[in-house]
Amino acid sequence: MKILKHLFDRNLAWATAIKEEDPDFFSLLSKQQAPEYLWIGCSDSRVPANQIVNLPPGEIFVHRNIANVVVHTDLNCLSVIQYAVEVLKVKHIIVCSHYGCGGIKAAMENQGHGIIDNWLCHIRDVSRFNAEKLSGLTHDKKFDLLCELNVIEQVKNVCNTTIVQNAWDIEATLSVHGWVYSIQNGILKDLDICITSREQLAEKCKKI
Ligand code: CO
């Protein structure tokens, strides 16, 4: 007997339902993927990329890690961005955080959490860069703002990768967006920092 049989049962029911609605769905999907979007989001189980924007398989290329961090030297994330931009030729990269992020919360605490503290150092950096904006706020307001500021910082990190810079240099259409999602009501918020060129990056970095 299969361990986790219930998941295989759910899979079969899901695939069957899709085939009933569209008999060619999987055969067409198996021939190519041509997503327009790369989603860089949090690993949190409550923030699944496709479901939030109600798109079927094949529409979003996804990278997720704790607190949706884009580290300059993270080969995993950089490889995803390179493949998405240079091979799939996505037109949009979306960095999406969520309020109530456990990674952000852990980074705000003083207690140790083990090896993950090394990863959370990146969030503490964001906190340090924005110390003025964050000072004097209540815990909850600070928590929400740090979730947003982390998105902005990671958008900048995406824009500063050689991959995105090279894409802009050859005049590829590529926008980088920063969004935050509310687990409480299921609604996405655009943080209005869409960046589409080196010039915009330089201009917006002065303000944010
Ligand atoms: Co999270």
The string of pLDDT tens digits covering residues 68-115 is: 999 999 999 999 999 999 999 999 999 999 999 999 999 999 899 999
Whether 10 is in a domain gets the answer no
> Which one of the listed residues 77, 96, 101, 159 is annotated catalytic?
101
> Which one of the listed residues 63, 92, 98, 177 is annotated catalytic?
98
**46 catalytically annotated:** yes
Whether 114 is in a domain gets the answer yes
Whether 14 is in a domain gets the answer no
Q: Is the pLDDT of residue 208 over 70?
A: no
Whether 201 is in a domain gets the answer yes
Q: Is the pLDDT of residue 172 over 70?
A: yes
- 172, 83 contact by CB (below 8 A): no
- Low-confidence winner among 62-66, 122-126, 203-207 (lowest mean pLDDT): 203-207
- Ligand 1 mean position, distance from CA 181 (Å): 10
pLDDT on residue 170? 96
Predicted TM-score (pTM) of this structure:
0.95
pLDDT on residue 2? 79
CATH assignment at residue 73: 3.40.1050.10
Alpha carbon distance 17, 58 (integer Å): 17
- The side-by-side arrangement of strands in the sheet containing 175-181 is 60-65, 37-42, 92-98, 175-181, 188-190
**Containing domain of residue 85, as a range?**
32-207
> Which one of the listed residues 10, 46, 72, 124 is annotated catalytic?
46
**144 catalytically annotated:** no
Neighbours of 79 (CB within 10 A): 12
Alpha carbon distance 200, 191 (integer Å): 15
> What amino acid is encoded at 36 in this protein?
E
Mean pLDDT, the chain, whole residue set: 96
Alpha carbon distance 148, 143 (integer Å): 9
Whether 61 is in a domain gets the answer yes
Alpha carbon distance 73, 203 (integer Å): 25
Give 33's pLDDT tier (boundaries 50, 70, 90): confident
- Ligand 1 mean position, distance from CA 25 (Å): 32
**Joined tokens for residue 18:** 């899709």
- Ligand 1 mean position, distance from CA 46 (Å): 9
Give 204's pLDDT tier (boundaries 50, 70, 90): confident
Whether 3 is in a domain gets the answer no
**6 catalytically annotated:** no
Alpha-carbon distances, residue 198 vs 158, 161, 164, 202 (angstroms)? 12, 11, 9, 6
Split into its structural domains, the chain has a count of: 1
**44 catalytically annotated:** yes
Whether 2 is in a domain gets the answer no
**192 catalytically annotated:** no
Give 32's pLDDT tier (boundaries 50, 70, 90): confident
Whether 24 is in a domain gets the answer no
pLDDT more than 90, % of the chain: 94
